[in-house]
Amino acid sequence: MNTLMGVKGRDFVLLGGDSAFFRSVVIMDTEYRKVVELSDNVLVATSGDQGDVEMFVEWLKRNARLMQLESSRPVGARTLAHFARRNLADKLRKQGAGQAVTALIGGWNEVACQPELFWLDALGALQDVPFGAHGLASRFALSLLDNGFREGMSLDEARHLMETCFRQLERRYLVSSVGFSMKVVDKDGCRDVACIERGEEGTGGRGGRGGGGGGASEQPAGRGKPVVLPSSESSLS
């Protein structure tokens, strides 16, 4: 499963992603971090082709550092989001081959004293959003985020909402993730919030629309105790 999620709260941006790195149908790494720091006050969560993702993140990180050295002030999420969008659009339209990268870029605007979250896709489309998701599982996550999101959420509320999304994905999606990690950025900088391991108890919360209000701590269907079949001798008798 390849999933990125982001939520903009009252005074923070929370980004999360699954921790699986896979190639074709083979899982290569179960502790891969898809949410990384671009600067002291900007985070990016990326998914897509692994080579393009690594190149994109390193290129964006080094350009963020260069901009900061040239201007002698921190570079915000809005500046980096538009800079990344222009690069993806130019490669796609001028070189004829773009980068297979999608991203969520979040940060703290020190001038306006408010959080910012941007949704960016591989075609160079950029949008300022209150919440967003990327990846195959975004088809499930977006409806859950839309149902549970509200303006001015606290960090605990946003964390519980994202955990609920992850638990529902683990329960309903065909390919389950091996783990999930989150980072938050606010006026104090970037830091880890939690790393959810598969099989831990959920934190509750409502499911998606039509889900009957099932809590996120419910055990995924088909993963209960193993069914013991009768032996062949007893079945014949």
Sketch out the chain's domains with CATH numbers.
4-197 (3.60.20.10)
Enumerate the β-bridge partners of residue 101.
48
Burial class (CB in 10 A: 0-12, 13-18, 19+), 21: middle
Length of the chain equals 237
Q: What is the pLDDT of residue 49?
A: 83
For residue 60, what are its two tokens? 């964006």
Q: Which residues are within 8 A (CB) of 1 and not within 5 positions of it... i.e. 6 or more apart? A: 18, 20, 135, 136, 137, 169, 173, 175, 176, 177
User: How many helical (H) and strand (E) elements, i.e. helices and strands, does the chain have?
Assistant: 5, 12
Positions in the chain short of pLDDT 70: 1, 24, 96, 175-177, 194-237
Per residue in 146-179, pLDDT (tens digit) is 999 999 999 999 999 998 888 888 887 776 667 7
The letter for the amino acid at 211 is: G
Spatial contact of 110 and 76, defined as CB atoms under 8 Å apart? yes
Q: What is the pLDDT of residue 227?
A: 41
Q: What is the pLDDT of residue 59?
A: 93
**CA–CA separation, 118 and 36 (whole Å):** 15
Q: What is the pLDDT of residue 1?
A: 59
